[in-house]
């Protein structure tokens, strides 16, 4: 469905944006693929890999989702948007809350408004497990963003723009994640551990990017897609990266959970289970007519998708392969 289509990726120079770019260029023949981000250095570095000479469909646009006028200009003639731009570092968002709101919330509203006015066909926004029952500002802004994109379907009026959301867990090896941090700590011989019981959902960049593209194809508008992915325990990661290192328990940081949740129990009533993913239907009744429960079954009323109670766990060997 991406052949001969024009696609724009906000935050396109990020880890996931680059992986989606790689997959799209290798598997499809888009008419245009626009990398929209605010960092000129990252765009320069990315252009060394995906040059406009080699890939004539690729364009690099300097811009910020906070700037609605620039979005309007960039979205002319675009068919699909993959919205990956965000301020995502939990400590940075706690210390700079206004900045996180400007990008993650107001930026989301700008994308929605511009997409409707420019008659974009489909918009899929990337979310995070931290948006489910959030306890930190980053999670709260992404929950707000998710709500905006779902509700955006009611703002389209006579236009046919559709908005959906993809929510998944920690991406293995992405910038700012625990793996590069641990690898640096190995040099000192000590790995700081917040809590030995801590668990997380894990997904690779390749899996995350392919899931986003699959959801872009399947979306009808208003739903939140959640992939079925495995959980990991932090101490298993220690065995892989620093088996000879000492560990130091430093305690859970502000805004951090012991276990992550991707589907809270309160959303179980709107959740359908499929073979490889869950789908959270919108609470708005007038959206529900879009969904035929083809192949999907309702989950139990007390269902919760929690990294600590997940039935699928990575073994140490599995994690070693991923790392």
Annotated catalytic residues are 130
Give the H or E element holding residue 50.
none
d(CA 117, CA 2): 22
Give the number of other Cβ atoms within 10 Å of residue 183's Cβ: 14
Determine the distance from the C-alpha atom of residue 182 to the mean position of all C-alpha atoms in its chain, rounded to a whole number. Answer: 23
d(CA 244, CA 225): 40
Q: 6-31 b/e with 16+ CB inside 10 Å = b?
A: bbbbbbbbbbbbbbbbebbbeebebe
d(CA 114, CA 106): 12
Which token pair is 230?
A: 């495995």
Apex CA 54: angle with CA 52 and CA 58, to 5°?
35
Do residues 18 and 171 make contact, with C-beta atoms less than 8 angstroms apart? no
φ and ψ at 299, to 5 degrees? -85, 170
Question: What does 86-120 look like in DSSP terms, one character per residue?
Answer: ----HHHHHHSHHHHHIIIIIHHHHHHHHHHHTT-
d(CA 232, CA 143): 24
Sort 224 into a burial class: Cβ within 10 Å, 0-12 / 13-18 / 19+: buried
């Amino acid at each position: 469905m991406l052949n001969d289509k024009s696609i724009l990726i906000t935050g396109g120079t990020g880890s996931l944006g680059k992986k989606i770019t790689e997959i799209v260029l290798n598997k499809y023949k888009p008419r245009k693929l626009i990398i929209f981000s605010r960092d000129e250095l990252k765009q320069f570095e990315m252009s060394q890999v995906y040059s406009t000479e080699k890939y004539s469909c690729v364009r690099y646009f300097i811009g910020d989702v906070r700037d609605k006028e620039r979005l309007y200009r960039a979205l002319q003639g675009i068919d699909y948007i993959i919205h990956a731009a965000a301020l995502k570092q939990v400590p940075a968002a706690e210390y700079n809350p206004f900045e996180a709101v400007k990008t993650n919330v107001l930026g989301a509203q700008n994308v929605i408004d511009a997409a409707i006015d420019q008659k974009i066909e489909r918009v899929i926004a990337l979310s995070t497990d931290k948006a489910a029952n959030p306890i930190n500002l980053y999670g709260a802004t992404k929950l707000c963003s998710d709500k905006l994109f779902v509700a955006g379907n009611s703002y389209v009026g006579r236009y046919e723009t559709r908005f959906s959301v993809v929510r998944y867990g920690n991406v293995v090896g992405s910038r700012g994640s625990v793996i590069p941090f641990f690898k640096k700590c190995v040099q000192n011989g000590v790995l700081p551990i917040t809590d030995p019981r801590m668990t997380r959902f894990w997904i690779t960049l390749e899996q995350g990017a392919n899931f986003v593209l699959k959801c872009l194809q399947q979306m009808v508008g208003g739903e939140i897609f959640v992939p079925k992915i495995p959980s990991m325990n932090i101490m298993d990661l220690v065995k892989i990266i620093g088996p000879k290192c000492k560990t130091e328990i430093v305690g859970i940081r502000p805004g951090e959970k012991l276990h992550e949740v991707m589907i809270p129990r309160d959303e179980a009533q709107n959740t359908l289970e499929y073979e490889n993913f869950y789908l959270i239907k919108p609470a708005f009744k007038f959206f529900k007519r879009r969904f035929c429960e083809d192949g999907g079954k309702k989950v139990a009323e007390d269902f919760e998708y929690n990294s600590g109670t997940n039935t699928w766990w990575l073994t140490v060997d599995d994690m070693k392969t991923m790392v």
